[in-house]
Structure 1
Amino acid sequence: MYILLALIGACVLGIAAHFMIDGRELRGVALTPAIATAVAAAVYTGLQWLGVGEDSLWLWLASVLGSVVVAAALTIAIVAWRRRSDAAAKVALGI
């Protein structure tokens, strides 16, 4: 049941990261929170399987904060890719 706390925390911080990262018009509102939540689920589960207890600070830091860092990095990469793609399409169309 503690995994739900990690997932909710990652999702909430993912929402905050969505509003802090530039280029919101180039991506969906759920992209960053969804990535953060999925990564948090994978990290939390993986660390539990490796034997890290629920009382360990590292489990919570890695699953909640680490997932937001990964989600922010992926979101920035997606926005950069989208900008390059849009610029190339404008050049190809002569706009």
Structure 2
Amino acid sequence: MYILLALIAACALGIAVHYVVGGRELRGVALAPAVATATAALLYTVLQWAGVGEDSPWLWLASILGSVVVSAAVAVGVTALRRRSDAETKAALGI
């Protein structure tokens, strides 16, 4: 049940990442929260299987802060890729 707390926190912080990272008009509104939630679920599950208890702060820090870092990296990467792709398309079309 505690995994839900980690997933909700990661999703909320993923929404914040969407608004903090620039170029949000170039990526979907659900990208950062979805990546953050999926990463938090994966990290929480792996750490639980590794034997880290629910009372350990490392479980919570790794799953929540790790998901924010991954979400921010994906958002920056997708934005840069989209800008490069749009510039190449405009150059090819002569715009």
Query: Could you say which residue in structure 1 is the equivalent of 2:25?
Result: 25
SS of 2:76's partner is helix
The structural deviation recorded for 1:89 is 0.3
- What is the correspondence of 1:9-24 to structure 2 with a 5 Å cutoff? 9-24=9-24
- What is the correspondence of 1:35-50 to structure 2 with a 5 Å cutoff? 35-50=35-50
Divergent runs of 4+, >6 A: none
Aligned-residue Cα RMSD (Å) equals: 0.4
% identical aligned pairs: 72
Distance 1:11 1:50 in 2: 24
5+ residue gaps, structure 1, are none
Query: Could you say which residue in structure 1 is the equivalent of 2:55?
Result: 55
Q: What's the CA shift string for 1:29-65, capped at 9, x where partnerless?
A: 1100000000000000000000000000000000011
The structural deviation recorded for 1:84 is 0.2
Q: How many residues align?
A: 95
> TM-score w.r.t. structure 2 length?
0.99
5+ residue gaps, structure 2, are none
Query: Could you say which residue in structure 1 is the equivalent of 2:91?
Result: 91
Distance 2:74 2:29 in 1: 14
Distance 1:47 1:67 in 2: 13
> TM-score w.r.t. structure 1 length?
0.99
Distance 2:91 2:68 in 1: 34
